[in-house]
Structure 1
Amino acid sequence: MEQRTDVLVLGGAGVDTIVHVPELPLPYADSYMIRPGIETRAGQSGDFVAVGLHCLGLRTHHLDMVGDDHEGELVRALHRDRGIPLTEMPAPGGTKRAVNLVGPDGRRLSLYDADRARDSDRFDEPTVRALASAARHAHVVITQPCGAALPVLREAGVSLSTDLHDWDGANPYHESFALQADIVFLSSAALADPERTMRDITARGRARIVVATAGAEGAYLLYDGELTHTPAVTPHAPVVDSNGAGDAFASGFLFGRLRGEHPRRAALYGAVAGAYACTVPSTRTDAIGREDLLAQVAQVASPASEAV
């Protein structure tokens, strides 16, 4: 089949309610006056990756289960306004939603509504197969319907990436994603020994590339058995919110790889995209554009990374 899509994004469509708090952790109090206010907008992990890839000029298609509710309308509007194709299937429990508490330093605490997911949630297999067959690559979010779709994606022959977020290296739910993807992203935040976890993923799974992001410390790349470090990139504007930085990193990295860049160079693409995301207020769903990304990568490219 003709490849009409560069990246098929599965899962992670939803809505966040943003609450700015005076500090994290938030001390107990009967009430707080919130400024600059409380705002609800579409944009969870899959949405952010799709927007990031689209802003970088990649043909992007998003597939997820979306509810017949107000939150679903916000998700549809986001994709419609951005011009990103969305294939949706009914979500019996409703559209995924969360509350993000955002501190003055940009850190966040996310509270996800677990009642929105059902163990029986599934994508229509013929639809997954058709969309995957038309794509160069598929990025799989670790939300409920996506795990069951992994065998279908593998059968379609499309390369896979996934983001395990703050996996502790032990939770079995994440393992099927970690071991079936060709490129694995994860945060080092909950890992006692990030290198050991990264090497375990490559030893037991399919991945040749594992990237562990470490916030202000940059990111660690394991490729062909060699662990290298990519320093964090200094943003060109003040840091206001870390929400979506990991998704932006993944988008930038995938953009680099689909351009044929070496994984070390792709990690620099990711670092630049992630730094930009930290300058975007959590109430917006913006991402760096192709020209800006390439210009900033050229500016900071030497040295792109260093051996650990």
Structure 2
Amino acid sequence: MQRHRDIDVLVLGGAGVDTIVYVPGLPLPYTDSYMIEPGIRTRAGQTGDFVALGLTALGLRTHHLDMIGDDPEGDLVRALHRDRGIALTAVPQPAGTKRAVNLVGPDGRRLSLYDASRSHVEDRFPEATLRALAEAGRHAHVAITHPCTPALPVLREAGVPLSTDLHDWDGENPYHEPFAYTADIVFLSTARLTDPERTMRRIAERGRAEVVVATAGAQGAYLLAGGELTRIPTAAPPAPVVDSNGAGDAFAAAFLFGRLSGEPAWRCALYGAVAGAYACTVPSTQTDALDRDTLLARAAELESATR
């Protein structure tokens, strides 16, 4: 019997709050104190939140599942989803809502300090809740935060296609391997890779990934699909680059939009490049994402220019 899929993308994990601190440079030289302009701000939005925001802005029916605390940070996360029309299932997290401090330099580079006390390896999603949401979804995007590792077998049993973002994986840390070798679509950054192609091919050979995408910032991205490695060009940002925070999440959301629309992998990657470039023009203190019409128009321009 065919199941009714009323969720386009189920996003697992990655809900939390960031405190943004603009610094005069990275690495930050030691001194007794700094005067921070334009100030310090705390706002909801970590990797899962930004993927869910990007998907929703593109018109996809999105549902976010994570463990969230009964605390001020959790209130910010719930308000973000409520204000942006993103369905949220918040499982109580006694340790509190995930949070981080992001130091952002003048060139938009970011250094994140994650509070590891807000989640524990024994954390679990209620299996019945997870399974019901997975069976209602066309796709699931899984963050590498707790408690997503033990959720992977349940998602596989539910028969939903999976994607994940390994972020700045070095290709060696075993924590990332269950995600890398279970997902059908794998995103990662080249930031800590000495040989991106080798890592990408190892992911495809050892796991079940049909597509592997490695983003390389201003150098574009690498796309491995059907055994063929392709370079994806950068997209021109529509405004000055102010912050790289959320660029990878925007790339993943736009790529998945293309995937669920039936587009070939290379066009999905062009969508990702356009959305990622736009995200770099949005200050860390804000949350914003491209709408569908703007994405399609800018991607068409990029495709025409690269022919």
Q: TM-score with structure 1 length normalisation?
A: 0.98
After TM superposition, give the deviation of residue 203 of structure 1 in Å. Answer: 0.4
Helix, strand or coil for the counterpart of 2:234? coil
> Which of 265, 268, 273 is 2:267 aligned to?
265
The corresponding residue for 1:50 is 52
Helix, strand or coil for the counterpart of 1:47? helix
The whole-number CA distance in structure 2 between the counterparts of 1:256 and 1:5 is 16
The corresponding residue for 1:76 is 78
The whole-number CA distance in structure 2 between the counterparts of 1:266 and 1:97 is 31
Counterpart code for 1:213? T
> Which of 113, 118, 124 is 1:111 aligned to?
113
Helix, strand or coil for the counterpart of 1:302? helix
The corresponding residue for 1:288 is 290
Does the 8 Å CA contact 1:230/1:304 hold for their aligned counterparts? no
Gap change, CA 1:121 and 1:304, over 3 Å in 2:
farther
**1:179-199 Cα distance to aligned partner (Å, 9 max, x none):** 000000000010111100000
The corresponding residue for 1:184 is 186
After TM superposition, give the deviation of residue 302 of structure 1 in Å. Answer: 2.9
Counterpart code for 2:284? S
The corresponding residue for 1:35 is 37
Note the 1:81-230 alignment, pairs <5 A: 81-230=83-232
After TM superposition, give the deviation of residue 2 of structure 1 in Å. Answer: 1.1
The whole-number CA distance in structure 1 between the counterparts of 2:200 and 2:305 is 23
The corresponding residue for 2:64 is 62
Counterpart code for 2:201? R
After TM superposition, give the deviation of residue 150 of structure 1 in Å. Answer: 0.2
After TM superposition, give the deviation of residue 79 of structure 1 in Å. Answer: 0.2
Helix, strand or coil for the counterpart of 2:147? helix
**1:124-164 Cα distance to aligned partner (Å, 9 max, x none):** 01111100100000000000100100000000000000000
Counterpart code for 1:282? S
Counterpart code for 1:197? T
Counterpart code for 1:251? A
Unpaired segments of 5 or more residues in structure 2? none
Counterpart code for 2:302? V
Counterpart code for 1:252? A
The whole-number CA distance in structure 2 between the counterparts of 1:110 and 1:304 is 34
After TM superposition, give the deviation of residue 303 of structure 1 in Å. Answer: 5.7
Does the 8 Å CA contact 1:218/1:229 hold for their aligned counterparts? yes
Task: Give the 4+ runs in structure 1 shifted more than 4 A.
Answer: none
The whole-number CA distance in structure 1 between the counterparts of 2:42 and 2:18 is 6
**1:219-251 Cα distance to aligned partner (Å, 9 max, x none):** 000001100000111111010100000000000
Counterpart code for 2:283? P
Helix, strand or coil for the counterpart of 2:148? helix
The whole-number CA distance in structure 2 between the counterparts of 1:276 and 1:304 is 19
The corresponding residue for 2:245 is 243
The whole-number CA distance in structure 2 between the counterparts of 1:302 and 1:91 is 48
Counterpart code for 2:301? Q
Does the 8 Å CA contact 1:264/1:304 hold for their aligned counterparts? no
The whole-number CA distance in structure 2 between the counterparts of 1:204 and 1:299 is 36
Counterpart code for 1:297? A
Helix, strand or coil for the counterpart of 2:181? helix
**Pairs aligned (count):** 305
Does the 8 Å CA contact 1:268/1:304 hold for their aligned counterparts? no
Q: TM-score with structure 2 length normalisation?
A: 0.98
The whole-number CA distance in structure 2 between the counterparts of 1:144 and 1:59 is 24
Unpaired segments of 5 or more residues in structure 1? none
The whole-number CA distance in structure 1 between the counterparts of 2:291 and 2:107 is 25
The whole-number CA distance in structure 2 between the counterparts of 1:105 and 1:188 is 19
Helix, strand or coil for the counterpart of 1:200? helix
**1:80-120 Cα distance to aligned partner (Å, 9 max, x none):** 00010000101121100000000001000000001111111
The whole-number CA distance in structure 2 between the counterparts of 1:216 and 1:13 is 27
Helix, strand or coil for the counterpart of 1:301? helix
